[in-house]
Amino acid sequence: MPTGVAIRDVREQLFDAAERVLLRAGPSALTSRAVTEEAGCAKGVLHRHFTDFDAFLAELVLDRVRRLDGQAAALRESAGTGTVVDNLTGALTALFGSVAVAIVALLIFRDELRARLRRDWPTGIPLVTEAAAMIASYLAAERDLGRIAADADLDTLAPTLIGAGHLLFADRESAPPGVEAVRKVVTTVIAGVV
């Protein structure tokens, strides 16, 4: 891109470009050069907006975590409608059908990124921790409506669903699992509390 040409929504363009590189080639291919080439801009653009590449990656993760807020609200609002199994199946499919699995791989791959994010997240893995909270909040709403057992251990069920969902979607080489595979896992995990 020629110097001096204004780029609209630079941060979002760079984040989207990083997401595409991450999904296509994995965390080892995610470099500042790969991101700026994918975004169609000069490398200096990224460094003008972020102190370094790990700062960029940290902001990318935080941006993707913030996007969970809408999903969490929609899932909570679905309490009392449809079936608990279908609502959870849809939530896990939407969560892991996105860039979430690739971001978890990125966090595992880059030590400096994890260290930087530890300042805000002293425990857990960003995105995964918020996803578990989203599921726990939904399950609590269903429990309040009597559709989940009153004694259900939501603090165990939510991360179990997230972990099982992540395992289903973690293989980047094959097609994502079908809805029935996700439904089977959800049904099995919550069988004792529905």
pLDDT in tens, 81-126: 999 999 999 999 998 877 788 888 888 888 888 888 888 776 777 7
Is residue 173 a part of any domain in this protein? yes
Same-domain pairing of 95 and 129? yes
Same-domain pairing of 108 and 139? yes
Q: What single-letter DSSP state applies at residue 111?
A: H
Q: Which domain holds residue 180?
A: 64-190
Is residue 57 a part of any domain in this protein? no
Q: Three-class SS of residue 150?
A: coil
Q: Residue 144: which CATH number?
A: 1.10.357
Same-domain pairing of 39 and 128? no
Look at residue 1 in the predicted model and tell me its pLDDT. Answer: 43
Helix (H), strand (E) at residue 29: none
Same-domain pairing of 98 and 159? yes
Q: How many CB atoms lie within 10 A of CB 170?
A: 12
Is residue 59 a part of any domain in this protein? no
Look at residue 7 in the predicted model and tell me its pLDDT. Answer: 53
Write 114-121 long-range contacts (CB < 8 A, 24+).
116/54, 116/55, 116/58, 117/58, 117/61, 120/62
Look at residue 76 in the predicted model and tell me its pLDDT. Answer: 95
Number of domains in the chain: 2
* pTM for the full predicted model: 0.82
